[in-house]
Amino acid sequence: MVASVLKNNWFNIASFSLLFASILAFVFTGEYFLLLVPPVYLYLVLIGVNWQMAYWIFLFMIPVSVQINFSGDTMAITLPDEPVMWIFLLLFTLVFARNPSALPKWWWKDNLVFIVVLQFIWTIIAVVFSKMLFFSVKFLLVKSWLLVCFFVLPIWIFREKKDYVRGFLVMLVPMLITIIVILIHHSMLGFKFDKVQKSMSGLYYNHVDYSTVISMFFPLLIIAWPLTKGKGVLIRTLLLAIILTFVAGITFAYARAAVVGIVFALIVGLAMRARLVNFVMPIFYGLIIALICYMVPNNKYIEFRPDYNKTYMHKNFTDHLIATIKGKDMSSMERLYRWVAAIRMSNDRPITGYGPRTFYYYYKPYAVTSFQTYVSRNKEHSTTHNYFLYMLVEQGWPAMLLYALLMMVIFAKAQKIYHRFKDRFYRIVTIGLAMVIAVGFINNFFSELIENHKVAALFYIPIAMLVMLDKKSRETPEPLKGDQALG
């Protein structure tokens, strides 16, 4: 139908007239936004003609999209990727409403899909019982287009080996550009720790978002190294240069969670190869529960309260690390301030929570004032700085437990897929995807960024890929060929 429309002379005349008129309007008015009309229009036409190609372009947009604030900074939009996500959500909704069987049965039967769908259903329930419906509905809409674009649509995109390679390259190139731009700007500021925020160049909201994104992508560079064996010196040298550029980006982002995340990812990768990954998350959860059991009784956590006059942001990263160890780092102590408040809040609404995007408006009466720092006024309206507590406070115990279960199932499934595959490429890709999610898990243990569009892409697309690889590993096992086996 779309092809027949494009062949219509009246359609072509109208299209040419629109494009010519927008350029002419720019010439007379000088309004630069009019120059956006031609590419936007052509992209919309492309979606109608070949939506898969439009999706690849969309993936390229994600790393270089920037947040635009307007209406006195009370509203914001990320351009150009967010409007594209709206379009994909609308198209998918129309297609699915007309033909529910568009999503295959095997997809619905997957345990990862089952958990993600349960999470979404519970989010809807939490929104219904929200204490601030407007903010919660906005959260639900964002979650909807993120899941459609990064968890659902990939099942029609990543079908063959070349699609995985293309996806890697399509996101690598723009992400590499952002790292180079930020490193150049940061170098002009002397790579100073207290100047890292100014070097973001509008590409990321802050250095935490930046470090999370590039550290999550980093494992894909690690697995690319064995996959490029025998591809020639030029390609290997170029890949090494890219890896070193990412290392520089992560290093000068000065984010502790990103480094810890990469270490945790390596642990997950080694555990998968040794068939031990099923012990990783239970041990992690056990340590956290043990820590809580130690801290909470008799309010022992009070002993760890900071000295308000000595807890501040340091200008040197070394001092920042030392202060973290001594419990005098402002960001770490502010996290404790929020965590204590979140746990106390959850007692009042344990099942449905306060509603998505409501933490900021209710947490301060629950906070312990002895944990306050210089940034406790929270002008940026940030939340819990821990995704588990974020779920607990805003969506209740079911949401938090579903997230904890999701992480366990992801790594367990990845291990099964890895050992089920005989094809070297898919084995390496599987372990790389698990490591990407592992880095994201640690970063989100100290933040709540899964609903950030750049982080969401690197969180949900790998999960979607694991769902598809699971099916592929069951249906088309390939013979192991000599030295092609990994490890």
Quote the pLDDT of residue 305. Answer: 59
Quote the pLDDT of residue 480. Answer: 41
Region for residue 190 given its phi and psi (left: phi exceeds 0; alpha: psi -120 to 50; beta: otherwise): left
Note whether 179 and 189 are within 8 A (CB).
no
Region for residue 368 given its phi and psi (left: phi exceeds 0; alpha: psi -120 to 50; beta: otherwise): beta
What torsion do the CA atoms of 357, 361, 366, 369 make, to the nearest 10 degrees?
120
Q: What is the pLDDT of residues 249-270, one digit of tens each?
A: 999 998 889 999 999 999 999 9
Rounded-to-integer distance, Cα 342 and Cα 358, Å: 11
Point out the least confidently predicted range of 73-82, 120-129, 420-429: 73-82
Place 374 in a pLDDT band, splitting at 50, 70 and 90: low
Rounded-to-integer distance, Cα 159 and Cα 475, Å: 13
Place 300 in a pLDDT band, splitting at 50, 70 and 90: low
Quote the pLDDT of residue 329. Answer: 59
Point out the least confidently predicted range of 3-17, 365-379, 402-416: 3-17
Measured CA to CA in angstroms, residue 241 lies from 199, 246, 411 at distances of: 22, 9, 30
Rounded-to-integer distance, Cα 21 and Cα 34, Å: 9
Whats the size of the chain, residue-wise?
487
Name, of 37-46, 58-67, 98-107, 143-152, the range with top average pLDDT: 143-152
Q: Which residue has the tokens 């990939």?
A: 154
**What's the average model confidence in pLDDT over 100-128?**
96
Q: Is the pLDDT of residue 462 over 70?
A: yes
Quote the pLDDT of residue 286. Answer: 95
**What's the average model confidence in pLDDT over 438-466?**
96
Q: What is the pLDDT of residues 1-20, one digit of tens each?
A: 444 544 455 555 555 565 55
3-state SS, one letter per residue, for 54-76: HHHHHHHHHHHCEEEEECCCCEE
Note whether 207 and 197 are within 8 A (CB).
yes
Q: Is the pLDDT of residue 164 over 80?
A: yes
Place 22 in a pLDDT band, splitting at 50, 70 and 90: low
What are the φ and ψ backbone dihedral angles of 423, each rounded to 5 degrees?
-75, 125
Place 339 in a pLDDT band, splitting at 50, 70 and 90: confident
Region for residue 454 given its phi and psi (left: phi exceeds 0; alpha: psi -120 to 50; beta: otherwise): alpha
Note whether 206 and 224 are within 8 A (CB).
no
